[in-house]
Amino acid sequence: MGDSRRVGVAVDFSVCSRAALKWAIDNAVRKGDHLILVSIRPEGNYEETEVQLWEATGSPLIPLAELHDANIMKKYGTKPDPDTLEIVSSAATQKDVVVVMKIFWGDAREKLCEAIDNIPLDYLVIGNRGLGKLKRAILGSVSNYVVNHGACPVTVVKQAAA
């Protein structure tokens, strides 16, 4: 890949993950980089044979063109929202970056740390839902866990107060 970096962005197609994606494109991604969308799906009973094979290692890298194909994305058990697809399509064109997605199944904290090592990522951007102290204490913070356990620099983009 030469001088290109692998910049990961954790996406769950929520408002806060779109904010993290926009921040990454505006502030971290530069021409020639690989923008890797890392999506974590909950564990479950997936009937698709491919998903059962990929549960341990994650999906293969999915190119941007396939992200727009609903039939292909159904095979992975996910459905990217149109806003996220528009953001990454614009970035691919305007910043001349390669956009791919990798999907993992399981606990978001652990799988994001695994993604850093397995892809491997040079940098990760993750959104923060802004849970209150009580919810964060009960549920735990994915972003806090990844910052403390991830093996690459991690930037947490806080969701602006509505």
Q: Can you tell me the distance from the alpha carbon of 119 to that of 58, in angstroms, rounded to the nearest whole number?
A: 10
Q: How far is CA 125 from CA 57, 59, 140, in A?
A: 21, 20, 18
146, part of any domain: yes
pLDDT band at 76 (very low <50, low <70, confident <90, very high): confident
64, part of any domain: yes
Please indicate, yes or no, whether the overall pTM of this predicted structure exceeds 0.85: yes
pLDDT attached to residue 1: 46
138, part of any domain: yes
CATH number at residue 91: 3.40.50.620
* Segment 62-73, tens digit of pLDDT: 999 999 999 888
Number of independent structural domains in the chain: 1
User: Which amino acid makes up residue 110?
Assistant: E
What is the span of the domain harbouring residue 31? 6-158
6-10, strands of its sheet edge to edge:
62-63, 98-105, 34-41, 6-10, 123-128, 154-158
1, part of any domain: no
